Structure 1
């Protein structure tokens, strides 16, 4: 209330005293334009709305969305070639920036027709596309992988979708999707709700989130800098400045905060906003937005998302990107979903790899096949040493994996009721975890 925020139920009636129902008021509202005087003091820097972050690494925070940012994000559909005649399918939650700002805002911006679904459905997705003559689909996170994992049908290419706009699609899923559902133009982009930088892959280079060039870097002054996973902070040189990585190397994405690339921060506690700002990055007095994301830029200027800072862990002196391990192991036929994370081990530096798996219906866990596949396609330090079988994996409303509770429980048999398995080289398989194995690790008698 101190911020002047009022909360409503979007319904005819309110079950909570002191909280009004909005639907009736909307139905009885005037159709006349809002008087100009109502927005006389509104500028591009004025707060338009608050959107809560997804909360994968902590509690959600209310990001401040200014009028300027609203206009910029809602223009993305136009940049990707969406037209007024398009019918755009949005199966994502409207409390998230992808559906609300990019989706609804984009439809309003280009004058397109919008088809909303209350919840994403794998089984109904393509039927909806055919029923409503969808020409543009919006995706996020693992949505495309769910579609590729669904049983194949003769009607897979029977649709009129020409564009797919979204973010978070893995390279191998991208290839599968195009091969199975036809040559749909995919515009993968990178951006964060509260961030001051974004990329769009206009060219369609599989796996890339965008491409940079000389002019782009003049407008958006971003850098990929060296990051210490163990210390959870950027690496600085003897002068105290951050060190840019070379092409082909993974680095933390930071973008300079300027008048053209502002960071509006979060509502409420200023300290939360301050934590996202890095100071004295390349010279004294500059300050940059810390994306918390690790990206790689190749020699052609294409940018690739690698991992989130909180998800990457270090083992045997090497950095392990959980998304890359997940992408490699998810190709096994018995794995429906996988969530990879690092867990601490007594007497060892860093964290060791662990994977929580959700199995495909009717298929058993095959420890031998997982062992062979991991050994063939992953470096030894990146192979998960422990596997946990789950009925379902917890995800956010935008299909991002939740890891914090899994990390906390680790491989402790007393804390985990799910089936646990341990990688045993002598057996060339993952074998059931026992109290004896756990004790040997806890007492530092077993070499890992």
Structure 2
């Protein structure tokens, strides 16, 4: 470097010259960076032409004058909201459009611009972006005459999935995505707990991004802060090499893009929708996300998909990216895995050498002009456990960061990560349940007799807090709380103008439709009572029993309403229709009523209902057994909040309401539970098995409500095309037979069944929350009435008393009448029993008999008025039907009593699956589960068992036929051996002879 001369060091002139040169070069290059933001690499961008220009986008066609523009296969590339369109042309030689052009393809790029520089840009929504892409696909197809290969990076890939679902793959040859998450909650970036992410996303969507947008510098800073060490290191490296222009130039376009030029602003409404739909509610996977007020599902994607997966991508984590396999079960889904981070998938050495050549080969392969790309594999259904909860393996993380964290061992890291993931999952589940359950239970506990609570008030409350939240879906249209409350208020005006007043009993005779829900809510908002009338032959009797003064009906039930002679108010079916009715009938068409001049009277107070007041009248039974069930506002709230708690309903759920509102399951469980839990309601026009599968996917149904044997219609339908990949997590309802319960679990694994028992009066709610004991009604739900099981002698129909004259509590396994303690907000309409177990106590009877097992779970036996008296003792029809239904070959079953020669006997009837009858030995083994005296005398196979409006099997027609005809499919109980044997004509004759002249009393 220098030499010593007379005690001095003489510097080498070459060294000095080199130092000066480096200093001058550093100064020159630094000045250029300061003045222009970076060095000029001298490489021009790829030529392009803007062929379409709108306020939302500019559609670029690259290399417009080349041969590929006229003969190439169109590939349309979509950037994310926060990244500029230049991400696909950072360097002409190694960028996306240049590589694809060199491979003979026709590259197009969608440029959304920056919202801060576009008119109305800050108001852009997610729907605006999807509709823009929808237009783009049509434009490119029009220009080229060919279907489009649509590709997108990160959120741009999410846009591609969404528009393909919106179009149901029409005009799209294939989808290509790069680090685009689908199952966002399967692997959140940087290990964020799910409960934190969902709650934060909801909060930010509702309270921050409805007021705030993200500027370009905020997006850039946020991205750099995701890896601050790497950001600082890259800047230090840049400064250290500032003297070496030749070394910096190859990476200069990428550096300038990341440090400044590549970032654009985000509009607040669009960010809010993304957070709400795809993080808080994860509807890319479950389906039911909303585009242009229409419910959409990725399950409608049928074109082939290629997803690029970054092994060390902490933003589009592999497990989240691979969620497309679950979300789009009808598509061929492939993956291409690269050792790259999020940005490295599309820009840089790995992208230029692997990503874009593979994209070109994919397009050529799909078009039949090339071989399948090497390295591409069929995507398997992701396994969160195998992927350590993220999809980014520990080995990949350690390898990728070994230069920075050289002393981190793979096995140590794996052990720590597994422990952390397990802890987060456990805490996440417990915390999520507690966060949802505790406020609901606390609210129930605060309700007093004079507390204002009703259907109308709860709808108003949610509407005030979150007017733009989605309330329900019907026929693919999504309605917000704001729109629903506006509709309800308009119906209120029509009802008030038609003479409806508080406390008036107003009949509601309607099929499943949004207008039925609006009618019930409007009646509640006025403070009147909804009498929910089941369509059918019992309309007149229901009107009489319910004290109905006016009837709200839809066009389909108008004739039945008019036949009652009461004023009929027609709602639903749209305002463009003709009602063909007698001109002398008292009919008002609310849809055509001019409400613009209606003035609300002075007495009107919205939602005046108190907890103790009557809100609804429901009906049980039919014909001679039709009976009234009165429901107070508190009773409705108890079921609503109880259902939401037991089912852990949240805003990410969509509840499929198959039951009509005139059934307690529709009113109390579906409508009430969804409203109290914040879930969306998906309405269907009754049960249509042919639509079930499509609506489940399209609406993103996570919870399905049922009544009795309703699911049998779905499971037996040849149009059911639900496979192992579906969004349903829970079936909730009452009365499901055990055999059907098992079939439902097998067909919809891993979904559970949540079976309820709820007394309409008495505030008793039982729920089999765990689902472990099929057929059990479970245990009392927190917040419902205290329950006791009073010992009951079914033979005499009396409660069993102790030596002091009080009722004895039933022991485990003993028959008992279920009683509920009336609380401070309980119905004042119920018949109260006093001095039951001790002096001064008060109880309300449910009229149903149960047994309680040693674990505290309750098993329904029968309504005490439906017990079958026989010569060998009382037989409980419900438990007999459940036992028979548990035989795999049995479809549905009922039990009933008949009289033979003056003696009452119990008969069980069943239909078969696939016409395969059980054997006598199988029947005997099944009934070993209940005491001998409670077994039916006869079991026979029938062709059909009628179902009531709620899909409850009915024995009325079978009972009228009397003694079953002896056949090879009829068996009797041999009292001597306790086994079932074939019932022959000889045995039938012996029975009639032996029982002639004897009687055990009335059935």
Q: Which runs of 5+ in 1 are unaligned?
A: 266-273
Secondary structure of the residue aligned to 2:550 is coil
- Pairing of 1:48-447 with structure 2 (within 5 A): 48-55=615-622, 59-79=625-645, 80-147=647-714, 155-207=722-774, 208-212=776-780, 220-262=785-827, 264-265=829-830, 274=831, 277-313=832-868, 315=870, 317=872, 319-332=874-887, 335-346=890-901, 351-360=904-913, 363=915, 366=917, 369-379=918-928, 380-387=932-939, 389-404=941-956, 406-407=958-959, 409-411=961-963, 421=970, 423=972, 428-431=981-984, 436-437=989-990, 439-443=992-996
- Cα–Cα, structure 1 residues 34 and 112, in superposed 2: closer, same or farther, change >3 Å? farther
Larger radius of gyration: 2
Distance 2:722 2:759 in 1: 35
- CA deviation profile, 1:29-70 (whole Å, cap 9, x unmatched): 7599988952376422222222222449x5322322222223
Say what the alpha-carbon RMSD is for the aligned residues.
3.9
Residue 138 (structure 1) shift: 0.8
- CA deviation profile, 1:258-280 (whole Å, cap 9, x unmatched): 42443534xxxxxxxx5xx5443
- Cα–Cα, structure 1 residues 36 and 160, in superposed 2: closer, same or farther, change >3 Å? farther
- Cα–Cα, structure 1 residues 181 and 221, in superposed 2: closer, same or farther, change >3 Å? closer
- CA deviation profile, 1:170-219 (whole Å, cap 9, x unmatched): 44543443233111143322202233211233334333323359xx69x7
- CA deviation profile, 1:256-306 (whole Å, cap 9, x unmatched): 3342443534xxxxxxxx5xx544311345442211212232333333323
2:569 is aligned, of 13, 18, 21, to 21
Distance 1:85 1:136 in 2: 11
Distance 1:20 1:138 in 2: 30
Matched, 1:44 2:611: yes
Q: Tell whether the 8 Å contact from 2:649 to 2:678 is kept in structure 1 after alignment.
A: no
- More strand per residue: 1 or 2? 1
Q: Tell whether the 8 Å contact from 2:693 to 2:720 is kept in structure 1 after alignment.
A: no
Secondary structure of the residue aligned to 1:299 is coil
Return the structure number with greater relative CO, CA threshold 8 A, min gap 6.
1
- Cα–Cα, structure 1 residues 335 and 36, in superposed 2: closer, same or farther, change >3 Å? farther
Q: Tell whether the 8 Å contact from 2:860 to 2:878 is kept in structure 1 after alignment.
A: no
Q: Tell whether the 8 Å contact from 1:139 to 1:165 is kept in structure 2 after alignment.
A: yes
Distance 1:437 1:258 in 2: 55
Q: Tell whether the 8 Å contact from 1:241 to 1:280 is kept in structure 2 after alignment.
A: yes
Matched, 1:8 2:563: no
Q: Tell whether the 8 Å contact from 2:638 to 2:763 is kept in structure 1 after alignment.
A: no
- Cα–Cα, structure 1 residues 286 and 11, in superposed 2: closer, same or farther, change >3 Å? same
- CA deviation profile, 1:319-356 (whole Å, cap 9, x unmatched): 533333323333556543221223344465xx432122
Q: Which runs of 5+ in 2 are unaligned?
A: 1-503, 506-546, 572-588, 999-1003
- CA deviation profile, 1:6-43 (whole Å, cap 9, x unmatched): 12332399543653232231564759998895237642
Residue 389 (structure 1) shift: 4.8
Residue 160 (structure 1) shift: 0.6
Q: Tell whether the 8 Å contact from 1:343 to 1:407 is kept in structure 2 after alignment.
A: yes
Greater shift, 108-117 or 427-436, is seen at 427-436
TM-score, scaled relative to structure 1 = 0.78
TM-score, scaled relative to structure 2 = 0.38
Secondary structure of the residue aligned to 2:604 is helix
